[in-house]
Amino acid sequence: MTHKRAFAGAQIFDGVTLWDTHALLVAKDGTTQPSPRDALPDGCPVTTLKGGVISPGFADLQVNGGGGVMFNDSPDIETLIKMSQAHRNLGTAGFLPTLITDTPDHTRAAIAAVRHALRENIPGICGLHLEGPHLSVARKGAHDAALIRPMTADDLAALLEAAEYIDTLMITVAPENVTMAQITTLSQAGIIVSLGHSDCDYDTAMRAFDAGARCATHLFNAMSQATPRAPGLVGAALDHGTVSCGLIADGVHVHPAMIRAALAAHTGPSDVFLVTDAMATAGSDITGFTLNGRVISRNDGRLTLQDGTLAGADLTLPQAVRYMVDVVGDPLAKALARATTTPSALLRKRPDTSVQNMIWLSDDFTQTRWLTDL
């Protein structure tokens, strides 16, 4: 391998292991690998960083907006480009634009927009996440109850068609408004079925996971909770063993004690991964926006409807990683994996670890730079 340059002075996270005494070597073809700092090739130019950590760029499977725009407001290529730019500036290498419960026309437009973005190779667009409309009104959160409905045969057919040309299609559903047979059909077509916004009981959730659902959307939030005699969707997601759980780690949505309990309880090959549930505020200084005609306000790290209902999160993945390390007590390598390789493993089109997709994070996680900009 002929090396173009090296980066030293920072810890190196390669997606699995955190290296303390290594530099990152970059080959002429852009591929990267850690190397002992005292064994760098002769003549290789070295950029010395002031601490921090080098990591693969983030992967975010739940991104509703960014850069001042919401995907729901204008599900088109222009909106996706703005979202891509905003989240790229936050260190995200790949994400799933997410459409919140909306009309069939908006859903079709979102599918067409993402298909267009994939054809045009818009940076960071890895597929589509449809969060609804087949949810539970009882656990609707900020979703518009008037738009929530059961999945029909036409809905199913449209999703199966979309899965043929969208690399990763993820859909959040509630067992109250989909059948087990529909979950199986979707899963067999390669669609990631995630349970969320549901008031289902433990046994129903376990049947849905057995039928092919693979994820739980924003664990603990907008779902039936775990109690001593009724474990609910929370208990099923942690108990099943094959379920990956998205988590909003912002100090607002889930108490750190509950996060620690979930990490201790989660078993099996899947894991807990971090999501931002980002809204239009991500990467912008706006103080509010609208969703399905309702005003959402930004205040002190919270996004809320006028009645106080949480509506997405005012969060970036660097902030989430820092919260996991500093407050929850997650090891740095594990927290970084929850924002990079763990969610990436669910994607068909995954961000690679070439130098174009590697970032540098400052020690306090307040600064994020792409290595290609250093």
Any idea which residues carry the catalytic annotation?
Answer: 277
Three-state secondary-structure class, residue 3: strand
| Torsion sign (Cα): 335, 340, 342, 343 | positive
Q: What single-letter DSSP state applies at residue 68? A: T
Asked if 213 contacts 190 with a C-beta cutoff of 8 angstroms, the reply is no
Q: Are strands 22-27 and 32-36 parallel, antiparallel or unpaired?
A: antiparallel
CA distances from 53 to 50, 359, 372 (A): 10, 8, 15
- Can you tell me the distance from the alpha carbon of 128 to that of 19, in angstroms, rounded to the nearest whole number? 34
User: Token pair of 266, please?
Assistant: 């989660």
Q: How many CA atoms lie within 13 A of 204 on its CB side?
A: 18
Half-sphere exposure of 267 (CA within 13 A, CB side): 6
CA distance 301 to 280: 14
CA atoms within 13 A on the CB side of 169: 24
DSSP alpha helices (H): ranges in the chain? 77-88, 104-119, 153-162, 180-188, 202-211, 232-239, 256-265, 317-323, 332-339, 341-344
- Using a 10 angstrom Cβ sphere, with 0-12 exposed, 13-18 middle and 19 or more buried, the burial of residue 373 is exposed
How many residues belong to the chain? 374
CA angle 300, 305, 309 (to 5 degrees): 85
Interstrand relation of 302-304 and 294-299 (parallel, antiparallel or unpaired): antiparallel
* Both tokens assigned to 111: 């599918």
What residue type is 160 in one-letter code?
L
